[in-house]
Amino acid sequence: MVQLEYVRKFILKDVNLHIPEGMAVGLIGESGAGKTTLLKLVSGLLVPDAGRVSTMGHDPGHYRKRYGRAFSAYFTGIPLLEPQDTVRSGYEGIASVYQMAPSVFVREYSMLTERLGFGEYQNQPVEALSLGQRARVELGAALLYRPRLLVLDEPTVGLDQEAKQALRDLLKERVEQGMTLLISSHDMNEVSHLCGRIALLHKGNLEFYGDQEQLHWQYHSFHTMQMRILGPLPDLGDIPFQQYQIEGDRLTLVYSSNYITSAEILQQIMGQTSITELVIRKADLGQVILRHSKAFLE
């Protein structure tokens, strides 16, 4: 669906990336890593200095008319709706551009107003809306004609929690129905919920591209095990933990699953003492990235 081969542009250096149809890919990395540049290349807003970009089988800079009706993109700062239009008339304009049948438009528009909650101000001009309201209607506009490929750049900026959840649910449904999604976000919770694959950019280099399990493995993701012990404290000498903490009868261990599994730790401890409570937490995506960034800074 999307292919980049040795692409160079601004900060991006020889980026290779292949996104199969139906895949949801989260593009993450620090500010200035090249995320928006990559998304604009895929959308045809930028042309690579070197390498090749293919979007839905075409050069996105030249063949928009051929595949554009199946493609949609949302960038902060590039409004899809004309500011002087009312929300409703702006959507009608988009429906015409993308040749939606009137009945399909009515169905999709009603669904979006309800799910994203902008029915109240649908007759107001877009320029009169607040930042959050505008983000809702712009995101709805990007989803209106059910694109096969959706590119979203920081879609949750300006959204409240309710709208974030509504958007997440909508996107999840669409991905389950076969839509390909390429999304950049600093909201790791959102990315980890939505995306089967992660692309990690660091200073223009694609440092990682794969599923979340691989990411945890590659970046030595740490697990945290908390337990309440009944009996003597166990000898932890053979466990390759990162750190431990004892508070009364509570023991907390931080360890990498690359070196030892949770089952192996439990086996060792339960051979020496009894456990009454147990909680095991895997590092979330945000913690992995934070650790990754720190490693680079060091």
Partner 1 sequence: MQSDTIHLIGVYLKTTAKAWFQYRVDAIMRSLAVFLREATGVVVIYLTLMKFQDLNGWNVYEMLFLCSLLFLTYGILIIFFTGLRDFGNTVRKGEFDRYLLRPRGLLFQIIFVNADWFAAVGHGCLGISLFLVTAGKVGVVWNVGTVLYYLFAVLGGVLIQGAIFLLLAALNFYLLETDSLKELLYYDMKKFAAYPISIYSKVIQICMIYVIPFAFVNYFPAQFFLRKQDGAVYPFACLYLTPVVGGGVYLLAYLFWRYSIRYYKSSGN
Instruction: Verify binding: residue 155, partner 1, rule CB under 8 A.
Output: no
Q: Which of 3, 10, 117, 236 binds partner 1 (CB under 8 A)?
A: 10
Q: Which of 16, 20, 84, 296 binds partner 1 (CB under 8 A)?
A: 84
Beta strands in 102-240 (DSSP E): 149-153, 180-184, 197-202, 205-211, 222-230
Q: Which of 51, 125, 196, 286 binds partner 1 (CB under 8 A)?
A: 125
Instruction: Verify binding: residue 65, partner 1, rule CB under 8 A.
Output: yes
Query: How do beta strands 71-75 and 222-230 pair?
Result: unpaired
Q: How far is the CB of 77 from partner 1 (least distance, A)?
A: 6
**By the 8 A CB rule, do 278 and 225 touch?**
yes
Query: What is the distance, to the nearest Å, from the Cα of residue 181 to the centroid of all Cα atoms in its chain?
Result: 9
Instruction: Verify binding: residue 92, partner 1, rule CB under 8 A.
Output: yes
Instruction: Verify binding: residue 69, partner 1, rule CB under 8 A.
Output: yes
Q: Which of 2, 53, 73, 227 binds partner 1 (CB under 8 A)?
A: 73
Number of residues this chain uses to bind partner 1 (CB under 8 A): 38
Of the pair 85, 264, the CB lying nearest partner 1 is at: 85
Q: How far is the CB of 25 from partner 1 (least distance, A)?
A: 19
Sheet containing strand 149-153, edge to edge, reads: 71-75, 149-153, 180-184, 24-28, 197-202, 205-211
Instruction: Verify binding: residue 44, partner 1, rule CB under 8 A.
Output: yes
**Residues paired with 208 in a beta bridge:** 200
Instruction: Verify binding: residue 89, partner 1, rule CB under 8 A.
Output: yes
Q: Which of 3, 5, 11, 275 binds partner 1 (CB under 8 A)?
A: 11
The CA distance from 53 to 64, in Å, is 13
The CA distance from 39 to 75, in Å, is 9
Q: How far is the CB of 284 from partner 1 (least distance, A)?
A: 26
Q: Which of 16, 21, 96, 261 binds partner 1 (CB under 8 A)?
A: 96
> Of 21-29, 64-72, 207-215, 248-256, which part binds partner 1 (CB under 8 A)?
64-72
Q: Which of 6, 16, 97, 276 binds partner 1 (CB under 8 A)?
A: 97
Instruction: Verify binding: residue 286, partner 1, rule CB under 8 A.
Output: no
Which residues fall within 8 angstroms of residue 237, CB to CB, at 6 or more apart? none
31 by Cβ neighbours in 10 Å (0-12 / 13-18 / 19+) ranks as: exposed
A 10 A CB-CB count for 60 gives 24
Instruction: Verify binding: residue 90, partner 1, rule CB under 8 A.
Output: yes
**By the 8 A CB rule, do 168 and 194 touch?**
yes
**By the 8 A CB rule, do 245 and 276 touch?**
no
Which residues fall within 8 angstroms of residue 129, CB to CB, at 6 or more apart? 87, 121, 137
Instruction: Verify binding: residue 68, partner 1, rule CB under 8 A.
Output: yes
Of the pair 82, 176, the CB lying nearest partner 1 is at: 82
> Of 51-59, 68-76, 129-137, 187-195, which part binds partner 1 (CB under 8 A)?
68-76
Please work out, in degrees rounded to the nearest 5, the angle formed at the alpha carbon of residue 73 by the alpha carbons of 23 and 173.
45
Residues making contact with partner 1 (CB under 8 A): 9-11, 32, 34, 36-37, 40, 43-46, 64-65, 67-69, 71-73, 75, 77-80, 82, 84-86, 89-90, 92-93, 96-99, 125
